[in-house]
């Protein structure tokens, strides 16, 4: 899994990069086949104090891309929020892909019935 971390009009310290990377590596443990993660971090002191830090994440999974945005008092809070949202999206996406439609289930039942005769 490839993780790219960028700062949008913001200088990123090694501490911020390592924190973001460790949070994004956790997302690989939820069973989805993640190809790459692109995270963009921004700190804007002109915005409200509760939304000064922003993080945007694009997660590329086979067949689907997930985009999540998080805001917080600072960059670290934004990274935490975006990690929670991304985790939830990955789990929901995995559950949706695993479910069969009612039609597919009924076809499977009919096939089993005809094979038994």
Q: Please give the pLDDT value at position 58.
A: 94
In angstroms, the Cα distances linking 63 to 32, 35, 90 are: 11, 11, 13
Q: Please give the pLDDT value at position 51.
A: 77
Contacts of 48 (CB under 8 A, 6+ apart): none
Q: Please give the pLDDT value at position 31.
A: 67
pTM score of the predicted model: 0.76
How far apart CA 37 and CA 81 sit, in angstroms, is 16
Per-residue pLDDT of the chain (117 residues), as tens digits, is 888 999 988 888 899 999 999 999 888 887 678 889 999 999 877 666 667 889 999 999 877 889 999 998 889 999 999 999 999 988 888 777 666 666 677 777 888 888 765
Q: Please give the pLDDT value at position 116.
A: 62
Say how far residue 57 (Cα) sits from the centre of its chain.
Answer: 7
Tell me the CATH number of domain 2-116, given options 2.60.40.180, 3.30.70.270, 3.40.50.720, 3.30.160.100. 3.30.160.100
Domain boundaries of the chain, sorted by first residue: 2-116
């Amino acid at each position: 899994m490839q993780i790219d971390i960028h700062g949008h009009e913001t200088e990123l310290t090694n501490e911020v990069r390592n924190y973001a990377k460790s949070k994004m590596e956790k997302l690989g443990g939820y069973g989805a086949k993640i190809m790459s993660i692109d995270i963009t971090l921004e700190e804007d002191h002109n915005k409200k104090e509760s939304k000064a830090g922003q993080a945007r994440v694009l997660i590329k999974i086979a067949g689907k891309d997930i985009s999540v945005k998080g805001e917080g008092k600072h960059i670290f809070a934004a990274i935490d929020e975006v990690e929670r949202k991304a985790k939830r999206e990955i789990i929901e996406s995995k559950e949706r892909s695993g479910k069969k439609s009612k039609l597919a289930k009924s076809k499977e039942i009919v096939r089993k019935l005809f094979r038994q005769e």
